[in-house]
Amino acid sequence: LVDTSYNRIKEVDDQIQAFLTLNEENAQVQAKELDTDADKSKRLFGIPNGMKDNIMTKNLRTTAGSQMLKNFDEPLFNATVVEKLNEEKAVIIGKLNMDEFAMGSSNEKSSFQTTRNPWNTDYVPGGSSGGPAAAVASGQIKFALGSDTGGSIRQPAAFCGVVGMKPTYGLVSRFGLVAFASSMDQIGPITNTVEDNARVLEVIAGSDKMDMTTVNKEVPAYTEKLADGIKGLKIAVPKEYLGEGVAPEVKNAVMDALKVYESLGATWEEVSLPHSKYAVAAYYLLSSAEGSTALARYDGVRYGERSKNADNMIDMYKLSRSEGFGEEVKRRIMLGSITLSAGYHDTHFQKAQKVRTLIKRDFEDIFENYDVIIGPTTPTPAFKLGEKTENPLTMYMNDVLTIPVNLAGVPGISLPCGFSEEGLPLGLQIIGKHFDESTVYRAAHAYE
């Protein structure tokens, strides 16, 4: 399996550009050891996988897509999710490209390379976990872990025609994940099938004493309930998710999917998430505020590249950050710093927090009467490289259907749901109650 993975990488990754760093020597050694291992009972025995490059891997370069960390070749520890994969004998093939510090929706904001959409290399793979989604979609690895703060697992999964799960906030440990917005970041699996996805989540989920935001609950056996069917499942379809800005072909694909659900014994009704129209604005204020704080540590002293062009300490800080961060990251740092400063804190930051509470309540209200929410993952299929790089707002609007889920902390999955006229994959999004990944997976599996 490991050989097949590296062969496939050699065959296609020149065009796809998904990998930033390969782990070939170590992976081969590990594979040889596994060959002679009598105990093949481990849950991910020998399965080749890749990590988004913001997930810490001991002694394997971890850059978060940034020049700031381009020489971070020897991280001292593994993220908790990596430790859990190691315990189950999965084999890490390499590290995958991403928008710098997970800020972006197209992979064009990586400071190293731009990953291509495997279905058509003129198009973006989505982001920020574009490398992970493209690597799985092009058969280079069996699964990848990504991170999702505002859609970064689900949106690239939709664009690349694979399955991506953003778990409930607090289900998966963030220890060893390079922080973007700590109140929303979650790690989750990207796979070819819903079953694979559930299998990987079973391994990486669970409380962790290194991340106090993880919840102490037993991890359910998601895979055991997959085939139980969805008779009687109550589906809510928010009208905002099929409204203005959503492409007709995307709408049609979702309506077709709802017919499949009806035929399987589920019912659906139109509902409203009235505050979702404020979600993008609230998200970009809150995530930038948290992001600017998280990135304060990269000063060229404790963390990150140090500029060689400074001759005093203040310039050293300034130049290290000016040279180390890309344009989009600087934009977020500025937005976040303004949002948190005196005079704007009440009018912007606090207000956005209040909007977040209202959005969370919208979801709670719906989940009093329904089991899942279904809609598209993105308003349009993948866009062309370069199409949205000029205007950040058009890029941000691409996240309008994924962001509310992160603000509310609930789980959401994207799975393939047909193709656009141009032959690009479309994504169906299924959103569940807090910690009810079981129902989300069951509903996804029934449609798949």
List, by residue number, the catalytic residues: 52, 128, 152
Question: Pattern of binders to ligand GLN over 245-284, x per CB under 6 A?
Answer: ----------------------------------------
* Distance, CA of 346 to CA of 282 (rounded, Å): 13
Bridge partner list, 166? 412
What does residue 190 show for φ and ψ, rounded to 5 degrees? Answer: -120, 125
Residue 414 near residue 163, CB atoms below 8 Å? yes
- Least CB distance from residue 245 to ligand GLN, whole Å? 16
Closer CB to ligand GLN, 179 or 233, in the complex: 179
Q: Is 416 in the site for ligand GLN (CB under 6 A)?
A: no
- Map residue 312 onto helix, strand or coil: coil
- For the beta carbon of residue 210, count every other beta carbon within 10 angstroms: 13
Q: Which two tokens stand for residue 339?
A: 């949002």
Please give the radius of gyration of the chain, using alpha carbons only, rounded to the nearest integer: 21
Selected binder of ligand GLN within 287, 320, 380, 429 (CB under 6 A)? 287
Taking CB under 6 A as the rule, does residue 151 contact ligand GLN? yes
- Residue nearer to ligand GLN on the CB measure, 89 or 154: 154
185, 405 Cβ separation under 8 angstroms: no
- Cα separation values, 268 from 113, 254, 386, 416, Å: 43, 12, 38, 20
SS3 208: strand
- Binding part of the chain for ligand GLN, among 148-156, 210-218, 253-261, 297-305 by CB under 6 A, reads 148-156
Stretch that binds ligand GLN, among 135-143, 145-153, 247-255, 308-316 (CB under 6 A): 145-153
- CA 367 – CA 355 distance, rounded (Å): 19
Closer residue to ligand GLN (CB): 48 or 170: 170
Amino acid in position 433: K
Q: 202 vs 328, which CB is nearer to ligand GLN? A: 328
The residues in 60-119 that bind ligand GLN, with binding defined as CB under 6 A, are: 102-105
Strand partners, 144: 50, 190
Nearest-approach distance from CB 396 to ligand GLN, in angstroms: 7
378 binds ligand GLN (CB under 6 A): no
Q: Which stretch binds ligand GLN (CB under 6 A): 12-20, 150-158, 273-281, 301-309?
A: 150-158
Residues at the contact surface with ligand GLN, assessed by CB under 6 A: 102-105, 128, 148-152, 180, 287, 399
